[in-house]
Structures are given as structure tokens and as C-alpha cells.
Copies of this chain bind each other. A is one copy, B any other.
Amino acid sequence: MNFAASAPAHETLTLAADAQDLLFNEAHTAHTYTSEPVSDAQLAAIHELVKNAPTSLNSQPLRAALVRSDSARDRLVAQMAPGNRPKARQAPLVVVLATDLDFHETLARVAPHVPDARELFSDETMRHESAVVNASLQIAYFILGVRAAGLAVGPMSGFDAPAVTEEFFPGGRHRALVVANVGHPGPDAFRPRAPRLEFGEVFKTV
């Protein structure tokens, strides 16, 4: 179990060591948070940073609900798995990250370089898979963007996805994928890292 990149690998990269540490090596999922708020200006800066990262045909299907009202918080927490409720209750900001399953309707505007882009996604099964894959790419960009803003993030998958979708993105066009706590880490915020797969377990040469 490694807690940091080894020195030789570290030195192979172009990214500066402090940036490696901020985004990856020293960043951990937070399980407690202080009460210090997360502002819309911080979120706008995160969006501005990560918005240019790539998605298929620039489809950008991610849609997000910033849970700021007490009533929305109550409704969200009720749909979280029991183990996630205290975190979703305590974090200064909770974000519901969803995908727009009908993202193809915006392609004329965001993919003007591909005239038949909308028609490429007329098959619903294929379109929904693309919506899930590409919104997930954007969720990862968002996670790293939160860290780039000096904040901690706690992504969670343990929730009733259909119920959260219906609550925050009603109408059948979206699907909630991840709920993320965002804020400054509180006392005892971090757990030891669980084991990571080795290079040879993930990569094979063909």
C-alpha cells in the first residue's frame, strides 16, 4: 500500500510536485467538514477551470444541483444510505451530480463542427450509455477541480438514485450518478487509504 508516488515516477512528470500533491497524493476523500461555507464564486472558478476538459463530441451532459436550502438538504439526506447521512447532513455544500440523458438536443449548439451529431445519438440505449460515461468523466474533472480550489470532496454512490433523480431532476430526462460533499475537512476527516491496484493489474500490452 503506497501513500504517495515514488520519487522516480514523481520526477518523470511535467506537473509540478505541489500540484501533484494538491490534486492526488495528499488529497483524500473527507468524511467530516468544518462549517466554513463554499461560495458560488468558488464553484464558478471550478467550472471555469474544468469546463474545457474533453467529452465525446463536446457533449457535456453533466448537470448539477447545489443543495443549499434546508428543505432540499432534508429531502436529500432521507434518500442517502444510512452511513452517508451524517456526512451529507454536515458538509457545508452537497452537490447532486447527474447526467442529461437527452444531451443530444444541445449538440447543434455545442458541436457545430459535427452537423449530424444529433442523429448519431438517436438510438436511446447508446445515447444513455454515452450520457453516463461522459457525465462521469465530467464528475471526475469536477472532483479534481474542487481539490484545485483548495477544498476537500467526498463523492458518494450510496443513495436511492431513482428517488434522488426524481427529487432534484424531475421529468425523466436525467439520472443522478454521484452525490458529492464539498467543504473544508473537519476533525478526523480522513481514513487510511485502501489498497490500490498495481500497474500490471490495470494495464496489459497487446
Contact = CB atoms under 8 A, between A and B. Distances in A.
A64 B203 contact: yes
Contact of A68 (B45, B54, B66, B206): B206
B113 A194 contact: yes
Most chain B CB within a 10 A radius of its CB, from A41, A129, A136, A193: A136
Interface in A174-202: 177-178, 191, 193-197, 199, 202
Interface string A130-151: 1011101111110110011110
A76 to B, nearest CB: 9
Contacts of A68: 205-206
The oligomer's copy count stands at: 2
With most chain B CB atoms within 10 A of its CB, the pick from A15, A20, A69, A193 is A15
Task: Please give me the 10 A-B residue pairs with the lowest Cβ-Cβ distance, nearest first.
Answer: A140-B140, A136-B136, A14-B150, A19-B19, A15-B148, A9-B45, A12-B45, A56-B157, A9-B48, A137-B140
Interface of A: 2, 5-6, 8-10, 12-16, 18-20, 22-25, 27, 29, 40-54, 56-58, 60, 62-69, 72, 106, 109-113, 129-130, 132-134, 136-141, 143-144, 147-150, 153, 155, 157, 168, 177-178, 191, 193-197, 199, 202-206
